[in-house]
Amino acid sequence: MHKLAVIADPHYHEIFPGYRFEGVDFKGQSGACIRTRDDSAASTRVYNESYFSFPAALDACVAEGIETVVIAGDLTDDGQIATMDAALALLARYEAEHGIRFFLTPGNHDTYGMSGRHHSKAFYDGRGGTTLVTSEPEGIANTERVIVDRAMFCRSYRDTAPLWAPYGIQRRSSDLHWESPFGTDDAFASRMFEITSPDGSVVHRQLDLSYLVEPQKGLWLVSIDANVFEPRNGCADNTDPSSFADSTDAGWNSLVRLKPFILDWLVDVSTRAKAQGKTLICFSHYPVLDTYDGTFAQESMLFGATQAVRRTPDHATGRAVAATGIGVHFSGHLHVCDTCTTCIDGHTLTNHAIPSPVAFPPAFAVVSADGESRNVQYRQIEFDDFDAFFPFYHRDAAQSDWMQAQSYGDFLYRHVRQLVVQRHLPKEWPADLAQFIQAVGVNELIRIADIQRPLQAATYIPSRREQDEITGIDLITDWYAARNAGTLVTQFVSPQRLAIYRRLIECYAGRSWSTSDCLQSRLKMLLAMMDQYLADAMAISE
């Protein structure tokens, strides 16, 4: 039996990166670069807490005796030179002190094409405001308090690859087997491929970092470089970051189209693994199946092309990956905890989406595998210093419910509410539905289900909410929390509240209205999606 951990999207941010910036004092040390509370509140992840959460995950692996750790992309915050160097130093320390062997796969936040790219981040400064640190040589025009530092730059594939060499990217002498889609030569020059712009006018030569390694007898780890940097029409300069579109939204949808040699290789790998009795563990940064419980069509209809919609693999992608015969795939990127299994053309494919240490729910996976058997369990991440940055955050909000958290998990659960208010409702929801949901409570939603006359969100006048009633914001916070956490949401949402949600869902499930765009029909669709997200959690709570 092989036992390993899969950690996705640690997004490590180095608090003491050594920028040419005085920073602030933190834990008795000067020069700390701390991102603002407001930046985290509007992001799908928190920033500073990664400084503690990633080591906490690694410490949990040490405590459990795990010596093989897969990192499914986005090792770093944004691939900044200073942060990447610090993250790799952390891996080297855990290997030296605890014997952990790490295996990396590129994420969209780790490295950027053959060019690299500039970054700019704002940090609290000693004057009570913020200072922008940027790698842009000319700085940022019309912005006060700017520091230019090359260490903020995100490296290219060419510059990142040698640094990642010890982590599966190239062969180690102790490995029983190593190969890439290009053969057994691990030199980077032999792992180049051609990629063409949509109109065929531009052809770039780029580096692919996929590999197969057998670090222990019988275990084949397959890292799939699913980053795709598609050249733009007429943009021939492969060293210019504006010359191509990155894979943040594209993922496997683009890989299937633009890196088909990966699929051919996976067919060969899976065939050999079965013939030789190897335990095959395949992973990449991006999911190969829908990780939102089959709600793609409903989300598209309700909200349009949201981030979730843009990043969901289509059916053709799932079909192509299933046909390779790999059977099981581990992914990150979306910061969700979800397992999706499908059978396409006689091929069964399972995608395990692994949550992030810096988003709700903070967790990683422990995998026990032997032959074709897989047991996946989740370990939630907790650590004592989850509130270490709160004194700085009070600069942005002196009074904040978010800062009342009693644990790291609670902190990230409350972060979901921040995202609902600052990101999801104002940026992804139709304005009328967003305004409506913020004004109502669950009891009124139940009453609306009994009204047969079609209502419109824009003209509906809500009643006064009852005291202690679950509000619309509470509901939508738990809607997103359930989508992200799956069964783990039961650790944060009480059985009593889950029972109320079940009643609400059932109120709409058996009803229909004369128009599909009326308020009741839209609420029915929203709650049907929640029903999918909560299905397993509801069963646990009963």
* Local confidence band at 247 (pLDDT 50, 70, 90 cut-offs): confident
Query: Which of the following CATH numbers is that of domain 163-353: 3.60.21.10, 3.30.750.180, 3.30.470.10, 3.40.228.10?
Result: 3.30.750.180
CB 186 within 8 A of CB 168: no
Q: Token match 């509007």: residue?
A: 42
- pTM for this predicted structure: 0.96
Task: State mean pLDDT over 85-106.
Answer: 98
CA dist 81 and 153 (Å) reads: 6
CA dist 158 and 466 (Å) reads: 60
Indicate whether 364 pLDDT > 60.
yes
- Residue 300 CB partners (closer than 8 Å, separation 6+): 309
Query: Where along the chain do the CATH 3.30.750.180 domains lie?
Result: 163-353
CB 334 within 8 A of CB 360: no
Sheet with 347-353, side-by-side order of all strands: 177-179, 211-216, 219-223, 279-283, 328-331, 347-353, 338-344
> Within 13 A of 131's CA, how many CA atoms are on the CB side?
20
* Local confidence band at 137 (pLDDT 50, 70, 90 cut-offs): confident
H-assigned helices in 312-471: 315-322, 390-393, 408-419, 425-428, 431-439, 442-448
Helix (H, G, I), strand (E, B) or coil at 541: helix
CA dist 482 and 540 (Å) reads: 13
CA dist 99 and 78 (Å) reads: 27
| In the chain, % of residues over pLDDT 70 | 98
* Local confidence band at 206 (pLDDT 50, 70, 90 cut-offs): very high
Indicate whether 541 pLDDT > 70.
no
Per-residue model confidence (pLDDT) at position 95: 98
Per-residue model confidence (pLDDT) at position 540: 54
CA dist 399 and 204 (Å) reads: 52
Mean pLDDT computed over every residue of the chain: 94
CB 46 within 8 A of CB 39: no
SS3 of 170-211: the string is CCCCCCCEEEECCECCCCHHHCEEEEECCCCCCEEEEECCCE
